[in-house]
Chains A and B, each alone.
Chain A
Amino acid sequence: MLRTLTFTLLLSLSLSIVTACRADDGRQLVVIANPGIDQSSISLETLRAIFAMRQRTLSSGQPLHVFVLGDATPLHEAFSKRVLGVYPHQLRLAWERAVFSGTGQAPNQVASEAALINAVASTPGGIGYALRSHVTERLQVLAVD
């Protein structure tokens, strides 16, 4: 009985809040944000809308700036598939549809993970992703519920 209860509890915890997903090499991948962002977690559907460039501000009214790596980079691919649960080609199509129909803008694409971390840390409203081991105190990690 106790075992079942513990198991259920663990299962529901692991389902409700995911702070990290694994990249291909087994290292942990997290959603990072500028420390000025006044929340510590975000829902999956909101995160998908932000990275698909459909939502430009948080519920607090804080404007967001999305930073990504190139489509073919392992980190972007792992983030798309494991965290957002969409394929990079779907994200690419969503951006092109937003940009060329006047409904949104393209995300800011940077050349490396270091540049991405730096951009998120120095841009108010910055949001992106990184390996957990590379997260510094200049960033905050957003849990995905």
Chain B
Amino acid sequence: MTSQLRIVATAVALTCAAAGASYADLARAQSDEGRDTLQVHGFMSQALVVTDHNAFFGPSDEGLGSLEYTELGLNVSRRLGDRFLVAGQVLSRVAGDYGDAWKPTLDYGVVDYQALTRDDLVLGLQVGRFKNPFGFYNQTRDVPTTRPSVLLPQSIYYDRSRSLGLASDGVSLYGERRLSNGTLYWQGGIGVPQINEDAEISLSASRPDLEAKLSTIGQLLYAHDGGRINVALSMARVRADYRSRLTPSARGDFLFQPVIASFEYNAEHWSLTSEYEFQTRKLSGFEYSRANRSTDGESLYVQYQYRITPRWQWLLRYDYTVSERDDRDGRRFAATGLGPSHTRFARDLTTGVQWRITPRWSAQAEWHYIDGTAWLPRQDNPDDEETDRYWNLVLFQTAYSF
């Protein structure tokens, strides 16, 4: 029954996407003559996920693996008058037992007003649901062709509690200041994030109830020499009301505060990218004072991409994360009886290849050797005690975008 439903849903989605693609071509043909700026774009992807231990995005450790990683997106945009742009995107995805499987969600929906466009200064604002500018990849994290690999480095772009950082409903101000051979960009937003079930279950196996509150996010980025060197600093303060489902009277405030420093060097045939994140998760305001606590975690990855030909790319990456800096091997955590030590860190060595078959169609494959399960989705592995410390993860993905 579920698989039938799945096939029907895929067929419907593919038909919609194909219709969107032909409509986009039509729209483009028209814009060559007149100045209609309507654009329709979209993407779809399907992956095969195979693991030797632990389940990642479905039953990847059984049989031939899991096909439960599919992404579909469709967006429309149009310029209104001289200075406005209206854009919206619908996203539907499946990633194993992740909460809102197939449910189409509004990924973003904004009215963008570019108020000032001087030669040396641009100022604008976005109102609506805007994508959070977080590190280099967050704003297009679900778009396969913008990712260097099938999975983004999970230390920073973890999928298991992804809703925390996706997008905000509110207002964002942006600007850029042009220098002689570089540009300084900034963006600062205030809004309510979408904190879903995924964040609740990832925070604690007891799945507390989280209610998002007004939060802030900001990014400062400097691109030198047309983006040969990019450096950025991103910061966010994500706030929520926290309520225990076991003892509803136990309630307080949850604060998630990540800071990311990003660096990238782009040469013609290779790119070197590294990002470091320091994150604080804080619980406060509980009557029971032992519930009030603050935990600092950190993450770092170093990634090398080599473009063998314009169509073939090779990737090598080392990705590290630890849930609590003062307890790197997780031993103190394990001693409290809350779970195995290896759930508190993850070291992931990844290598992969990406092949652009045509400008719109691509295929990629990658292999991860992982020590630790800090970002392993609890959605797919309900019992922490049954997870394995060392595991291999292989992914194949094909994607189409237009």
CA gap between A109 and B179 in the complex, in Å: 29
Decide if B266 touches A87 in the complex (CB within 8 Å): yes
- Residues of A contacting B400 in the complex (Cβ-Cβ under 8 angstroms): none
Contacts of A70 in B (CB 8 A): 359
CB<8 Å pairs between A and B, sample of 12: A43-B120, A46-B178, A54-B176, A55-B122, A56-B114, A88-B310, A96-B140, A96-B401, A99-B41, A103-B87, A104-B85, A108-B31
Q: How many chain-B residues does the 8 Å CB contact rule pick out?
A: 54
Q: A102 to B89, Cβ gap below 8 A?
A: yes
Q: Which residues of A contact B131 (CB under 8 A)?
A: 101-103
Contact of B268 among A59, A87, A109, A124 (CB under 8 A): A87
Residues of B within 8 A of A (CB): 28, 31-33, 35, 37, 39, 41, 43, 73, 75, 77, 79, 82-83, 85, 87-89, 108-110, 112, 114, 117-120, 122, 126, 130-131, 139-140, 143, 145-146, 176, 178-183, 225-228, 266, 268, 307, 310, 359, 401
Q: What's the nearest-Cβ distance from chain B to residue A123, in Å? A: 6
As a 0/1 sequence over residues 68 to 101 of chain A, the CB contacts with chain B under 8 angstroms (1 = contact) are 0011100000000000111111100110110111
Question: CB distance B227 to A90 under 8 Å?
Answer: yes
In Å, the complex CA distance between A67 and B44 comes to 26
Residues of A at the B interface (CB closer than 8 Å) are 42-46, 48-49, 54-59, 61-63, 65, 70-72, 84-90, 93-94, 96-97, 99-106, 108-110, 115, 119, 122-125
Q: Are B140 and A97 in contact (CB under 8 A)?
A: yes
* Chain B residues closer than 8 Å to A85, beta-carbon distance: 225-226
Report, nearest first, the 6 A-B pairs whose CB atoms are least far apart: A102-B87, A45-B178, A86-B226, A101-B139, A102-B108, A100-B143
Smallest CB separation, A32 vs chain B (Å): 16
Cβ–Cβ contact B32 & A106, under 8 A: no
CA distance A116 to B226 in the complex (A): 24
B-side contacts of A65, CB under 8 Å: 31, 35, 37
Chain B residues lying within 8 Å of A108, measured Cβ to Cβ, are 28, 31-32
Contact present for B226 and A90 (CB under 8 Å): yes
**Which residues from chain A contact B112 at a C-beta distance below 8 Å?**
102-103
**Cα distance A127–B114 in the bound complex, in angstroms:** 19
- Closest CB in chain A relative to B46 CB, distance in Å: 18
Say yes or no: B114 contacts A55, CB within 8 Å: yes
